[in-house]
Structure 1
Amino acid sequence: MGKQTHKRRSIKHRANPIGSRVAAGVQQGVMEEVPQPEQVLPVIQKLSSPDSTERAWAAACISNLIMAGAGTRKLLLSKGILPKLIERLTDDNRDVLEESVGTLRNLVSVDPVIAKEYYSRDILTPLGTLLPQIIQTIDNILNNAPVADEAEQDRRRTVWDLAENFIYIIWSIGEASDKYITAINRMNIVSFLISFLTVADQCPSRVVIAAGQCLTTLTDDNQEIYLEFQNHPEYVRMLFDVLSKFDGTEKILVRVLTCAILMNIRDVVQMSSSWDEDFDALGELNKKLLPILTTSLDYDIQTAAEQTKAAMNSGHVTKHEETGEITPRPKQPLSDEEKYIHSVEERLATLQLSLEILADICLQDESGDDGWEDADMDMGEEDAPDNTDVINEDNIDEFFQDTSAIDESNAAAVNDSLIRSNPVLHAFTTEIFPHLIRLATPTSLSFPHEEVAPSISQALALTHQRALECFNNFLLGMNEIPSKFWFKEQKSDAIQGWRWLFNTANTVAAAPQSEDRDTVLESIVGCMWALGRGLGQDIPLEPSDVPALCGAYEASSSTMMRVKIVGCLGPIAMRRGDIETNKHIGVFIMNILSQIGSHGTSPEVAVEALNFLYDVYSDCAFDYDDPVFVQGGFLAQLRQILPSVRSMVKITDRRKNFDLRSRADEALTNLVAFIKYKANERRL
């Protein structure tokens, strides 16, 4: 089973602050009718007025029109506001410039696709010119420099809004396409963004969070920016200083964002001159990050959901008519209820990012990083088992006769001992595991039958998904340990986990159909697959489990969901002493394979179903082999299916899907060998 991976991206926390001055009489998000072109054109024309006051008014007014609805935005864009607003970024009047930046930020916040047009219209050039001005003003504030004149006072008063809007635009462009990040790199923006994290206690938190989210995106798989960190080792030290500067839950999102950045650049951290040559930098990095990440998980999402519902029904929350999101009226302070809901959004964003980082830590062994599965590296080359040779029927005798082969059982025992002592594994098994179960459990707002707080519901669903992905990666890691000791020594947790997964799936499946619901269900089945592999004979099966999985297969149109269900059925079918369950599943799998020729079964599912057969019916000594495989005529059916499998493999385009074609080729080769093997197995 392949490990579940996902590219970590920063969590978009999209508030929609307007510029510092808002046009009188225009209220954000409450316009009932789409304005007509003759009403909009005069506003757009004022963007080019010789009067700077009119230009500033026009930019602020357009900002509010943007928030009024999709129809109004479409009208504004059709009248060419985008190039006009970008042109205003070089306006010699500060008010006009700042209102234009705020308007551009609002536009991309409600229509992220527009970021691509920002890039194509070279918005980065005027923004690059603006950057040193922002830096200078903020430096003056932080250093308590004397105010030179009234213009300087105005710049200081509005610079935090300007900085946040500036960062948000850069971040949105970076999120839009990896190729745009190369151009952003040339702006030398890293030190600017890090500086906000280092002075998080002196800047508005919204600006610090925007900087952290932006830098998390920019450092995600970005080789060019790694070079900048290598050339400036002080950046790494500054990030570590951020982690130690605050305690407990103080500035928790800032600290988690810093953890994400450090994880993104962990290869640079390892090579950084701040470490000794022989120092286990990545191991120490994990030890330093884990307490912060674990602390961040301590949030009661069930209570948050109930209190959010109460806040939304209080009558003290202003909703956007188009999106249902909270959109407080300009110049009016947030109500206590609105502040609470924003705090819930921020904490859920923190949870999601923490869970993504923890899921990555579970998989670090794949890249040779410091995870709990690389303990054999600590044994030294002369002690480590050689796993480079694949043992098969042709070379197995030669392998065991090779006197140079080490005693793998002894090596595994040493390996197992080292793994058990790993602090990362200890943290996962004792502290993080219970959090994952709690955070993956749906709330009353996660998949509501009636929308109450759409952004919170979506954030809760994503939190459940991230918790399940982390749980899945943890289980996969435990499966990779030869002794699989967690499943034996924490058998009670594992068994309870199986039942909890089924109960949770039933709860989620009863919710209204949505993409979020289906994604969470798929994640649950992935966890069942990994947990079933570890539990093996100890799977606590109930009569309804297999019918539920088979029914979910038939009801789903998702290829990956079907693949995971077939994979999940494998460990269940391999249980001894339950021939009827094996027969139920075996017949189900053979039916899936019979539909290859009619294209009712996709190649991905077919490959997994074939692998199921090779694993489940690999030995005639299994108690279910004769009554199910032999008496059920599975061998004859496989011979009939073989031509369809050949055709399936042939039409799978290697150029378009190399991995799938390779797996299909292997499955076909194994099928031919399996048919021959099963035909001769009982004659030996």
Structure 2
Amino acid sequence: MGKSQKKRSMRRHNPMRVPDSHLPKGLNAASSSSSKTEAILPILQKMESLDASERKWACVAVSNLIQNDPSTRRLLQGKNVVGALITRLTDSEEEVVVEAAGALRNLCIDGGYDICGEMFNKNILAPLMTFPAKISGVLSQYLESPKSSPENARKLIYEFADSVITILWCLSETSHKALNAINQISLVPFLMSFLASRDKLPVSTVTSAAQCLYILTEDNPPAISQMRSNSAYAECLYSIIRSTPTMEEQKSEGLGMERAVTLRLLACGILRNAPPPSSTPSPVDDLEKEILLPLIEPVVASVSLAEASTAVQTLIERIASEPQIEKLSLKNTPKSDHKSTEEMELERIETKLRTVQLGLEMLTGICATLPEPEIPLEDESDEDDDDMEDAGDDDMEADDTIPGVKPNPSSPSFLPSLVQPLLALIQPTPLSFPPFTGPSPHPPTTSVISAIHICALECLNNIFLSLASSPNPVLSGDKEGGARVWDEVWKALAAVGLETGPGQERRREMWEIGVGVLWGIAIIWRGSLVPQENHVKLLMQLSDVTSDQTVRVRCIGALECLAQHPESIDANRVISTYLLSMLPIDANPSAAGIEPTIQAASALIDIYSDEGMPYDVNFRQEGYIDRLAQSVEGFRKTIKGIDRKKEGGKELRLRGEEVRDNLVAFIKYRRQLRL
């Protein structure tokens, strides 16, 4: 099954906060789908105006136009708005530079990887690299003499710093090339200075600095080395963890307190990414056990997605019913930070949901690093054991766990307590996915809620894998509890539905991760879950239509466990017939793919390893032994063709050879029974 882990090449669960994959490609399509086409040309013209007020207006107008509007964003992108805004980062007027940075920040957040990649390719780092030193110099003066600096001047530099930091944070997630370039800036001291002065700075700016640090220290040796080189950094982070208000204290508060919780989580995450050297005094022995988990658990349990969805729907209806003030009037230059009460509440809800998402991502990482023994690698040899018929009965082992997982007595006891709140977070809401007819009524909320669903499923995947690796008679003996968990996951997947299309990528992702969760549950409660006809059909259907071999293996694994319900003889026959169809015939390879073929063979051995089971009648009456024997030669050739030099090839070859030997021994054993 494999544990879910964040990869740098695809870290964020919200690569596009306001997705546009539902839109047809091309500039003409963007023009026809945008209601603001006529406003584009004047904005781009004023971006190059000799009048600084017009250039500033144009930058602010971009931010206003793209708000929750993917078609207009795509149209502006097609007109090279990114290049125009990057040019304005070197403008002679400070306010123009600040507004250009703000517009680029919003494009990064709403547009995701594509726009970030475009910014990097258009050399945005050239002007950006000059800003940290300038920001540090100005902020130092303001912090030393706060009364001597005007409030609007301080506000301007805070906003600018936030924008620059957020752009760098987003760029660092775009590609290894961008990350390597950002590493040359040595951002750690700059970012840590915000955390050290957090009591004198806006929490939003400090949180952005922490978020950037959290991303930079994930599997990134240069940043990790910088963090570990200064003991004061760890002390600062521990201070944040201790001093930030608790969940109980922030329950009735607003956006600032939501960000405070996020900041505390991020401080934990940074310490986890870049733990201080062992020689550095630490206030805790186990960061995850003593601080991170106690913080994450209430965060994860603190939100009802259904209530959040309802609240957002009410707010957007209220906004839609209010008269809209023309935002693009040059006479009254709009303020980029002006928000109505409803917009502020939408931002607060999104911030809270993003905090839950962050907590889930950290929890996924914690569960992914729990002990998980691997298959021992034996002496490698290019010689295959072609004389498989000599394999003895003792060589046959039923594969009754996920491949590579052996009983593990050290699996943490906190895992079962997390299951129920996570199950609540995978249940879809009316805003979880865009409608099939167009974009979501509020894309940012849809983006974060669907991301929470995915994160929660990944946590469940890792939890059930860990629990399956440590058989617990008390847990597996709770058959009613197992059935409830099984039904809850199916309930969520049924609500997602099988229909897909442009803009519905998250629905497919829910199924791809969800079947892994189902497999883990089925292993723990193997033999007690009654296979439902619709469940069996759906698993087979997904296995047939997916092009991802890992997803197909997960489907086979779940079907294997369902086939072992003793009294479900008809379901056993349906599943086994399906698995047999995935095996090779004579010397011909199977069309199912190498890994699914191996898993199907292993599953059949496991299902019929006990001839005393009621469903074994299918094996005898349907002549499965002959079909298995017919597959041996093709199976041998399939395994021999695995390239050990490819990534994962060595492990796959070893697993295939083990199943091959088990298959031959199993056939010999069943024939000797003469049943």
Fold-level similarity (TM above 0.5): yes
Q: Which runs of 5+ in 1 are unaligned?
A: 17-28, 321-327, 374-385, 399-411
Partner of 1:454: 443
> C-alpha displacement at 1:344, in angstroms?
2.0
> C-alpha displacement at 1:576, in angstroms?
2.9
Q: 1:593 aligns with which of 566, 583, 589?
A: 583
> C-alpha displacement at 1:579, in angstroms?
3.0
Q: Which amino acid aligns with 2:350?
A: E
Residues 52 and 93, structure 1, Cα contact 8 Å, conserved in 2: yes
How many residues are aligned here? 610
CA separation of 1:247 and 1:540: change in aligned 2, threshold 3 A: farther
Q: 1:299 aligns with which of 299, 303, 319?
A: 303
Distance (Å, rounded) in 2 between the aligned partners of 1:310 and 1:200 = 35
Distance (Å, rounded) in 2 between the aligned partners of 1:389 and 1:597 = 29
- 1:269 aligned onto 2:278: no
In terms of mean alpha carbon deviation, does 668-677 or 560-569 score higher? 668-677
Q: Which amino acid aligns with 1:610?
A: A
Q: Secondary structure at the match of 1:537?
A: coil
CA separation of 1:598 and 1:333: change in aligned 2, threshold 3 A: same
> C-alpha displacement at 1:586, in angstroms?
0.6
Partner of 2:416: 429
Partner of 2:659: 670
- 1:4 aligned onto 2:20: no
Residues 228 and 276, structure 2, Cα contact 8 Å, conserved in 1: no
Q: Secondary structure at the match of 2:37?
A: coil
Residues 252 and 296, structure 1, Cα contact 8 Å, conserved in 2: no
Q: Which runs of 5+ in 2 are unaligned?
A: 19-32, 251-256, 325-332, 380-389, 396-405
Distance (Å, rounded) in 1 between the aligned partners of 2:40 and 2:489 = 53
> C-alpha displacement at 1:566, in angstroms?
0.7
Partner of 2:254: none
CA separation of 1:65 and 1:571: change in aligned 2, threshold 3 A: closer
Distance (Å, rounded) in 1 between the aligned partners of 2:425 and 2:393 = 46
Partner of 1:147: 148
> C-alpha displacement at 1:167, in angstroms?
0.8
Residues 88 and 100, structure 1, Cα contact 8 Å, conserved in 2: yes
- 1:606 aligned onto 2:597: yes
- 1:190 aligned onto 2:194: no
Residues 40 and 76, structure 1, Cα contact 8 Å, conserved in 2: no
Distance (Å, rounded) in 1 between the aligned partners of 2:522 and 2:514 = 12
Residues 10 and 353, structure 1, Cα contact 8 Å, conserved in 2: no
Partner of 1:617: 608
Partner of 2:344: 339
Q: 1:537 aligns with which of 511, 515, 527?
A: 527
> C-alpha displacement at 1:355, in angstroms?
0.9
Compute the RMSD of aligned alpha carbons: 4.1
CA separation of 1:586 and 1:60: change in aligned 2, threshold 3 A: closer
CA separation of 1:33 and 1:171: change in aligned 2, threshold 3 A: same
Distance (Å, rounded) in 2 between the aligned partners of 1:135 and 1:218 = 19
Q: Secondary structure at the match of 1:176?
A: coil
> C-alpha displacement at 1:472, in angstroms?
1.8
Residues 361 and 455, structure 2, Cα contact 8 Å, conserved in 1: yes
Following superposition of structure 1 onto structure 2, how do residues 352-391 of structure 1 map, counting pairs within 5 Å? 352-366=357-371
Using structure 1 for the length normalisation, give the TM-score: 0.77
Following superposition of structure 1 onto structure 2, how do residues 650-669 of structure 1 map, counting pairs within 5 Å? 657-659=646-648, 662-663=651-652, 666-667=655-656
Distance (Å, rounded) in 1 between the aligned partners of 2:369 and 2:210 = 23
Question: Relative contact order (alpha carbons < 8 A, sep ≥ 6): 1 or 2 greater?
Answer: 2
Residues 607 and 667, structure 1, Cα contact 8 Å, conserved in 2: yes
> C-alpha displacement at 1:649, in angstroms?
4.7
Distance (Å, rounded) in 1 between the aligned partners of 2:160 and 2:322 = 25
Render the CA deviation track for 1:500-555: whole Å, top value 9, x for unaligned.
22222222226765211121122222111101111122224445432343344345
> C-alpha displacement at 1:585, in angstroms?
1.0
Residues 86 and 100, structure 1, Cα contact 8 Å, conserved in 2: yes
Residues 533 and 571, structure 1, Cα contact 8 Å, conserved in 2: yes
Partner of 1:438: 424
Partner of 1:379: none
Residues 65 and 73, structure 1, Cα contact 8 Å, conserved in 2: no
Partner of 1:97: 97
Distance (Å, rounded) in 2 between the aligned partners of 1:448 and 1:36 = 26
Render the CA deviation track for 1:557-592: whole Å, top value 9, x for unaligned.
554332211110111222334333222211111123
Distance (Å, rounded) in 2 between the aligned partners of 1:107 and 1:241 = 34
Q: Secondary structure at the match of 1:309?
A: helix
Distance (Å, rounded) in 1 between the aligned partners of 2:264 and 2:89 = 31
> C-alpha displacement at 1:333, in angstroms?
3.8
> C-alpha displacement at 1:107, in angstroms?
4.2
Q: Which amino acid aligns with 2:659?
A: N
Distance (Å, rounded) in 1 between the aligned partners of 2:214 and 2:323 = 30
CA separation of 1:117 and 1:132: change in aligned 2, threshold 3 A: same
Partner of 1:509: 497
CA separation of 1:536 and 1:613: change in aligned 2, threshold 3 A: same
Partner of 1:496: 484
> C-alpha displacement at 1:173, in angstroms?
1.5
CA separation of 1:272 and 1:10: change in aligned 2, threshold 3 A: farther
Partner of 1:547: 537
Residues 212 and 258, structure 1, Cα contact 8 Å, conserved in 2: no
Partner of 1:632: 622
- 1:233 aligned onto 2:239: no
Render the CA deviation track for 1:79-134: whole Å, top value 9, x for unaligned.
xx666654554445423432332343344445442433443454334323221221
CA separation of 1:256 and 1:479: change in aligned 2, threshold 3 A: farther
Q: 1:314 aligns with which of 311, 315, 318?
A: 318
Distance (Å, rounded) in 1 between the aligned partners of 2:17 and 2:204 = 9
Residues 219 and 264, structure 1, Cα contact 8 Å, conserved in 2: yes
> C-alpha displacement at 1:222, in angstroms?
0.7
Residues 191 and 213, structure 2, Cα contact 8 Å, conserved in 1: yes
Distance (Å, rounded) in 2 between the aligned partners of 1:33 and 1:213 = 35
Q: Which amino acid aligns with 2:487?
A: R
Distance (Å, rounded) in 2 between the aligned partners of 1:253 and 1:60 = 25
Render the CA deviation track for 1:233-275: whole Å, top value 9, x for unaligned.
2211211111111222344444445535544553742634333
Q: Secondary structure at the match of 2:554?
A: helix
> C-alpha displacement at 1:454, in angstroms?
2.7
Distance (Å, rounded) in 1 between the aligned partners of 2:394 and 2:59 = 79
Q: Which amino acid aligns with 1:43?
A: K
CA separation of 1:257 and 1:519: change in aligned 2, threshold 3 A: farther
Render the CA deviation track for 1:434-492: whole Å, top value 9, x for unaligned.
2111111222222364632233223212211111211121111111224454333x544
Q: Secondary structure at the match of 1:592?
A: coil
Residues 447 and 511, structure 1, Cα contact 8 Å, conserved in 2: no
Distance (Å, rounded) in 2 between the aligned partners of 1:491 and 1:103 = 55
